[in-house]
Amino acid sequence: MENSNKGTGLKIALGILLALFLGTGFYTSKLYNEKKENEAMLIKEKEQVMNDLSTMAKQYDIAIGENEAANADLVEARERIQGLMDSLKISQNSVASLWSYKKKYLSLQEEMNQLLTENDRLKIENSLLATSLDSTNVKLAQRIVFTDSLLVQNNELANVVDDAAVLQTVGLKSFGVIQRSSGKLIPTERASRSDKIRVCYTVAKNKLVGAGDKELYVQVLDPQSNVLGVNEQIQFGDKTLNYSLISKFNYENRSLDICEFISPNGEFAKGRYTVNVFNNKEMVSSTEFTLK
């Protein structure tokens, strides 16, 4: 009788252990499947956030491309989106991490709506400003019909809005010359025969500029971009200019033809030369010529 009771107890214990084993296995399997489903869902959500960020970045690219000058706010926001995308790519697939990126995306979405709205407003204002400037340009053009040269007039018309009260130059020409002992000058394209470089231009008539002594800076660059002539420096704020000579003249509110000569620092090299004329730090004309 005692042995029978022991056998029955053992069977019950084994049954309990088997039930626990089967239950544990079922629970473990369920947890594993749930983990896989959660991981798949997190990966899908991560891809969705990445796609949303990519779409947002493309919207910024379009807005930036529509502006002739880059909008600093748009560019900075676009860079932050790219940084967030790069970070998301290497982030862990966790609920906390994904939620953090979603919140950042929603914040960027709100910011983008404001920036693009502001960008559209600025485009409209710029369009109206351009129309206003065109109208101003026409009115100012009518005030300079007294210029005594069509070339001078065309130059002033092109620059009147920005440079209405600044001396401008037109007809800039430069070439090598042979200087005879008699003083006669003969143009030449040969570097070996050139004694000097002649630079000629016309100071355009501008009634908005007061009469008196004026000066412009002439810069002549050889084929190696070396500055010929005196090669001295002058500072204009944060900009430094190396010039070949200072062209000084008396301006009497009318067109004025000026010619200057640049002597070589050694022998003239063969190649393309560049000649620039500056009014203080602003370049007002430029030309090129070649010595063979």
Task: Count CB-CB contacts under 10 A for residue 199.
Answer: 25
CA separation for the pair 119, 35 (Å, rounded):
46
Residue/partner pairs of 259-262 with CB below 8 Å, 24 or more apart = 259/198, 259/199, 259/200, 260/198, 260/199, 260/200, 260/218, 261/177, 261/196, 261/197, 261/198, 261/199, 262/196, 262/197, 262/199, 262/218, 262/220, 262/228, 262/229
Tokens of 218: 């002439």
Going residue by residue through the chain (292 aa), what tens digit of pLDDT does each one get?
555 555 676 667 666 766 665 556 555 655 555 555 555 566 667 677 777 777 877 877 777 777 655 567 777 777 877 877 777 676 655 555 666 666 776 766 777 777 677 766 766 666 666 666 666 666 665 555 555 555 555 555 544 444 566 889 999 999 999 988 887 888 999 999 999 999 999 999 988 888 899 999 999 999 999 999 999 999 998 899 999 999 999 999 899 999 999 988 788 999 999 999 999 989 999 999 999 9
Instruction: Give residue 263's Cα distance to chain centre.
Output: 38
Q: What is the DSSP letter of 248?
A: E
Asked whether 202 and 152 are in contact (CB, 8 A), the reply is yes
Domain-by-domain residue ranges, the chain?
A: 2-122, 163-291
- Residue 160 is predicted with a pLDDT of 46
CA separation for the pair 180, 184 (Å, rounded):
5
First CA to last CA across the chain, in angstroms?
128
CA separation for the pair 136, 143 (Å, rounded):
11
Task: Count CB-CB contacts under 10 A for residue 98.
Answer: 20
Q: In terms of pTM, does the model score above 0.85?
A: no
CATH topology of domain 163-291: Immunoglobulin-like (2.60.40)
Tell me the DSSP string of 150-208: HHHHHHHHHHHHHHTTS--EEEEEEEEEEE-TTS-EEEE--TTT-SEEEEEEEEPP-TT
Q: How far is CA 192 from CA 219, 225, 265, 266, in A?
A: 21, 19, 13, 11
Backbone phi, psi, residue 280, to 5°: 55, -125
**Nearest-CA neighbor of 288 among 275, 271, 270?**
275
Q: Give percent helix, percent strand, percent coil of the chain, each to the nearest 5.
A: 50, 25, 25
Q: How far is CA 72 from CA 67, 115, 122, in A?
A: 11, 11, 13
